[in-house]
């Protein structure tokens, strides 16, 4: 019929065939173009990431080169000085000039101490870079840390003719931090503030340390009335061996590694940052920020057991939290902790399990707690994004991880998400959880 049939029928069949073939070919071409486009986008993204890593590796190599050059100089100097002092000491012994012998011995001791301090700073920096410096996230009583700072530096301030004021929080302020890293950071900042604040009999000069809490973030301020730092130099001070006001390399004014280690330490502790405001001749203000909360009523300073305030427990009672944790023991620990706090939860080893458990709960979600490494294709960050999409919620989230390098995870965190590094104690989890519940309910911190 097609060959010898009606011409109109043949035409219709031909047109139908060509249209079907054209549509099929068009769909095939579109699918191929789409695949090529996606492959090109993935290749471009991979190239961008490769370029970024290459630049980071080049910068790290340049930084190590600068550090090694500075280290070589600063290790040789005290060694050379010690050898010279030893030669002088020998001569004084021959002359039986024991007063000078004692003096040269003191010089040798000072040089060896400076050498030891240099090595200690370098080893600390190396541990930060390699990720082997242990980080333990815990609840730290900031008042205890500030009191310790006051006791450590009060005599030095008086010797320098300066005033040191440490303003204690009016209530018990607990921060989520690493106690060792926090002490190292604040100690370096106060030591630097005293070191670069010259005394002046005509003006009150000194250093003030204080702490405030706003919206779940603690701000620790170290303010001095010293020489200040020009705006164009404020990024340079974080480099190793950089001392803007010590051109003569007087080692009594430090090694130039303090602020370098401050930045290294804060980069490794999640939720921490540092900011600087300074002007030449007017002094400097360094501000360290970290998660924090008030705990309990005003009480004398002590280092006893830290307990949540009744108001915080009342806030958490009845809150509904989604928990994704594939480790059975860890998930059970979360469940028992939340039971103790009166927190309701939907939990599971995977995103799908949590969603099924949440369906039966029929409750609004106040917060999400998830491990970072999970079975399957999604990590904890991706699970948060998917949960928020599926449940049409913007509930705050907390990601817990045992990873040593937190930087890649931190860069991928969505908004209203806190990162905690294992191990941490229960109050370290309570602080961001309480703030998450406040945010979810639209409340403000008192």
What SS3 state is found at 223? strand
Residue 280 Cα distances to 191, 194, 231, 271, angstroms: 19, 16, 9, 30
Q: What confidence tens digit (pLDDT) does each residue in 257-295 have?
A: 678 778 888 887 888 999 999 988 888 999 999 988 887
Q: What confidence tens digit (pLDDT) does each residue in 377-408 have?
A: 889 999 999 999 999 888 899 998 887 677 78
How, if at all, do strands 283-294 and 273-279 pair? Answer: antiparallel
* Whole-number Å distance between alpha carbons of 41 and 18: 34
Q: Is the pLDDT confidence value at 415 over 50?
A: yes
Q: What is the pLDDT of residue 383?
A: 93
Superfamily of segment(s) 310-440: Response regulator (3.40.50.2300)
Mean confidence (pLDDT) of the chain: 79
Q: What confidence tens digit (pLDDT) does each residue in 214-262 have?
A: 888 899 999 999 888 888 887 888 776 555 554 444 444 444 567 877 8
User: What value, to the nearest 5°, has the Cα angle with vertex 51 and ends 275 and 403?
Assistant: 60
0.85 surpassed by pTM: no
Q: Is the pLDDT confidence value at 203 over 60?
A: yes
Q: What confidence tens digit (pLDDT) does each residue in 425-438 have?
A: 777 788 888 888 88
The continuous run of DSSP H or E covering 47 comes out as helix 7-94
* Whole-number Å distance between alpha carbons of 333 and 253: 49
Least confident of 152-156, 165-169, 420-424: 420-424
**Mean pLDDT score, 37-43:** 82
Q: Is the pLDDT confidence value at 107 over 90?
A: no
Q: What is the pLDDT of residue 61?
A: 67
DSSP for 53-115, written as a single string: HHHHHHHHHHHHHHHHHHHHHHHHHHHHHHHHHHHHHHHHHHTT-HHHHHHHHHHHHHHHHHH
User: For residue 84, what are its two tokens?
Assistant: 């010279």
* Whole-number Å distance between alpha carbons of 285 and 282: 10
Q: Is the pLDDT confidence value at 374 over 80?
A: yes
C-beta neighbour count of 294 within 10 angstroms:
20
Higher local confidence (pLDDT), 10 or 210: 210
Q: What is the pLDDT of residue 126?
A: 65
Q: What confidence tens digit (pLDDT) does each residue in 303-328 have?
A: 445 567 788 888 888 999 999 998 88
Q: Is the pLDDT confidence value at 296 over 90?
A: no
Query: What percent of the chain shows pLDDT beyond 90?
Result: 15
- List the domain boundaries for the chain: 138-294, 310-440
At residue 201 the predicted structure's pLDDT band, cuts being 50, 70 and 90, is low
Domain 138-294 has CATH 3.30.565.10: yes
Kindly provide the b/e burial profile for residues 271-280, where b requires at least 16 CB atoms within 10 angstroms of the residue's own CB.
bbebeeebee
What SS3 state is found at 307? coil
Q: What is the pLDDT of residue 250?
A: 46
At residue 444 the predicted structure's pLDDT band, cuts being 50, 70 and 90, is very low
């Amino acid at each position: 019929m097609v060959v010898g049939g009606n011409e109109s029928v043949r035409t219709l069949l031909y047109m139908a065939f060509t249209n079907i073939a054209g549509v099929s070919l068009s769909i095939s071409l579109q699918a191929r173009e789409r695949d090529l486009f996606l492959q090109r986008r993935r290749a471009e993204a991979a190239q961008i990431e490769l370029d970024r890593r290459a630049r980071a590796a080049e910068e790290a190599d340049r930084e190590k080169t600068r550090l090694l050059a500075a280290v070589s100089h600063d290790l040789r100097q005290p060694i050379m000085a010690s050898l010279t002092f030893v030669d002088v000491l020998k001569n004084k012994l021959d002359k039986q000039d024991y007063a000078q012998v004692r003096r040269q011995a003191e010089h040798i001791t000072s040089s060896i101490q400076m050498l030891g301090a240099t090595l200690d700073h370098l080893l600390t920096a190396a541990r930060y870079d390699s990720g082997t410096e242990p980080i333990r996230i815990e609840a730290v009583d900031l008042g205890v840390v500030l009191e310790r700072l006051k006791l450590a530096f009060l005599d030095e301030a008086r010797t320098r003719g300066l005033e040191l004021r440490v303003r204690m929080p009016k209530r018990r302020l607990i921060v989520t931090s690493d106690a060792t890293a926090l002490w190292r950071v604040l100690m370096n900042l106060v030591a630097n503030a005293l070191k670069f604040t010259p005394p002046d009999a005509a003006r009150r000069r000194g250093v003030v340390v204080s702490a405030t809490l706003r919206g779940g973030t603690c701000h620790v301020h170290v303010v001095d009335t010293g020489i200040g730092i020009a705006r164009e130099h404020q990024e340079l001070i974080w480099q190793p061996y950089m001392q803007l006001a010590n051109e003569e390399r007087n080692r009594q004014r430090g090694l130039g590694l303090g602020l370098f280690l401050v930045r290294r330490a804060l980069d490794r502790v999640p939720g921490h940052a540092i900011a600087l405001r300074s002007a030449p001749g007017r002094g400097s203000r360094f501000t360290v920020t970290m998660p924090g909360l008030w705990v309990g009523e005003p009480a004398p300073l002590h280092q006893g057991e830290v307990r949540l305030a009744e108001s915080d427990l009342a806030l958490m009672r009845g809150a509904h939290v989604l928990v994704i944790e594939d480790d059975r023991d860890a998930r059970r620990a979360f469940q028992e902790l939340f039971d103790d706090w009166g927190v309701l939860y939907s939990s599971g080893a995977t995103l799908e399990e949590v969603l099924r458990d949440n369906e039966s709960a029929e409750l609004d979600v106040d917060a999400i707690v998830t491990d970072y490494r999970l079975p399957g294709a999604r990590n904890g960050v991706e699970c948060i994004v998917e949960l928020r999409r599926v449940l049409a919620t913007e509930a705050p989230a907390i990601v817990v991880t045992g990873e040593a390098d937190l930087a890649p995870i931190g860069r991928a965190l969505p908004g209203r998400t806190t990162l905690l590094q294992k191990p941490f104690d229960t109050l370290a989890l309570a602080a961001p959880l309480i703030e998450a519940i406040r945010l979810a309910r639209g409340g403000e911190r008192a």
